[in-house]
Amino acid sequence: MDFENILIEQKDYLAKVVINRPKKLNALNKATIEELHSAFQKLEEDASVKVILLTGSGEKAFVAGADISEFAHFSVDEGSKLAAKGQELLFNFVENLETPVIALVNGFALGGGLELAMSCHFRIASDNARMGLPETSLGVIPGYGGTQRLPLLIGKGKAMELIMTAGMINAEEAKEYGLVNYVVSQEELTSLGEKIASKIIRNSSVAIGKAIKAVNSGFKEGVNGYESEIKEFGDCFATNDFKEGTTAFLEKRKPNFPNN
């Protein structure tokens, strides 16, 4: 896969996607969003990829926001289409992937950058990371899911405060609020991501995909998460991974999942 704005590294069952626009602090523009969509789609279709790590190039920024120059003069209709297309192509797309995506927040994650990190299945931050949704300081609101995902992750009151003040929080505050799972040094960030990924890789990728669908369903309006769980649980019984996992348990050995 050849891209202009991102890099892909793949080793065994692990893929790493790096947003590579260091001069722009890895800001998201239209081309980068489209490239990320294409990359995630191809990695999702690759049965050999069981976990995806997502990060930004350099040590300053994960993604420092959207590329404002692209939409500063948009009309109402153009603004609405920008948000709708971005959510469809990238943010909702990542959230609903059945391959786990872990965000390695290695610096500034602002605006669209934080929204991208929040669309991942969970987040690890370096101790120099700073996170926020500064859109109201530009006369606009978060448009890539920020007003929806941030309250779900940290609670309505704190989310309201961060959005209204357009303020930033540091990595330790983000951990305290439940926005990130771990905070480590810049040097340890990738190794911790890989360590957690190695634990995920040992398990059934089919079951993990179904677990992601079940968990996500509980946050969707008009969907009964418990009913979704029952369906996904039942569907597991038709998989070869279930047969292998239960057989291995009864035979007191480690499973060798066929991932189907």
Q: Which residues does the chain have with pLDDT short of 70?
A: 1
Residue 1: what pLDDT?
65
Would you call 249 exposed, middle or buried from its count of C-beta atoms within 10 A (0-12, 13-18, 19+)? exposed
Q: What does DSSP say about strands 14-19 and 6-11: parallel, antiparallel, or unpaired?
A: antiparallel
Provide the CA 143 distance to its chain's centre, in angstroms: 16
Active site residues: 115, 135
CA-nearest of 241, 246, 199 to 100 is 199
Helix (H, G, I), strand (E, B) or coil at 201: helix
The predicted pLDDT at position 113 comes to 97
Where do the H-state alpha helices sit in the chain?
A: 30-45, 76-86, 92-95, 112-119, 146-154, 156-165, 171-177, 189-201, 205-217, 225-236, 240-250
Mean pLDDT estimate for the chain: 95
CA dist 31 and 28 (Å) reads 8
Closest CA to 84 of 93, 95, 96: 93
Contact between residue 256 and residue 244 where contact means Cβ atoms under 8 Å apart: yes
